[in-house]
Amino acid sequence: MNHTAYLLLGSNLGNRVAVLHRALVALAEQAGKIVSVSPVYETAAWGLEAQPAFLNQAVHISTALAPEALLDICQQVEQEAGREREEMWGPRTLDVDILLYDDVVLDSPRLVLPHPRLHKRRFALVPLADLAPSLVHPALGQTVQQLLADCPDTLPVEAWMGDL
């Protein structure tokens, strides 16, 4: 049985565009079929703001993997991109977050679904709204578009105008 998952890719170290592209290829090979991808956005860093801007992109995938198995693949793809977990919200070559997985609400030691800060982050909601504006957040009961309209985050999220 296939499941619908929405991921967020982010990179603010190295060749950010190449990192996102390699992550898409790896996810397609290891996690499931990529159904659609959002445009790329350049976004200010959130949480720890004194660092380079990120490129972010939302990804809609169809996967046979269970949530924690998908998390394992996401973390493996991060490691293959040279991700080092040195400080929370610090700079990174690649970050792959599971934003939503079907209508699953999960709170395990390894994974919280939907992503616990999704509704507070414009850098995640803007690209997700490109893919699924009327998707309802299973815990909050609001659409992605409604969450974006009510989002308290005011950090800039701009369409990436660089070469892809």
164 residues of the chain, pLDDT tens digit each = 899 999 999 999 999 999 999 999 999 999 999 999 999 999 988 777 778 999 999 999 999 999 999 999 999 999 999 877 666 666 889 999 999 999 999 999 999 999 999 999 999 999 999 999 999 999 999 999 999 999 999 999 999 987 65
* pTM of the predicted protein model: 0.94
Please list the active-site residues.
Answer: 83, 92, 95, 97
Backbone φ and ψ of 123, nearest 5°: -65, -20
Separation CA 134–CA 127 (nearest Å): 13
Backbone φ and ψ of 77, nearest 5°: -65, -40
| Structural tokens at position 134 | 């009327």
Q: What is the pLDDT of residue 112?
A: 97
Q: What is the pLDDT of residue 35?
A: 98
Question: 5, 70 in Cβ contact below 8 A?
Answer: yes
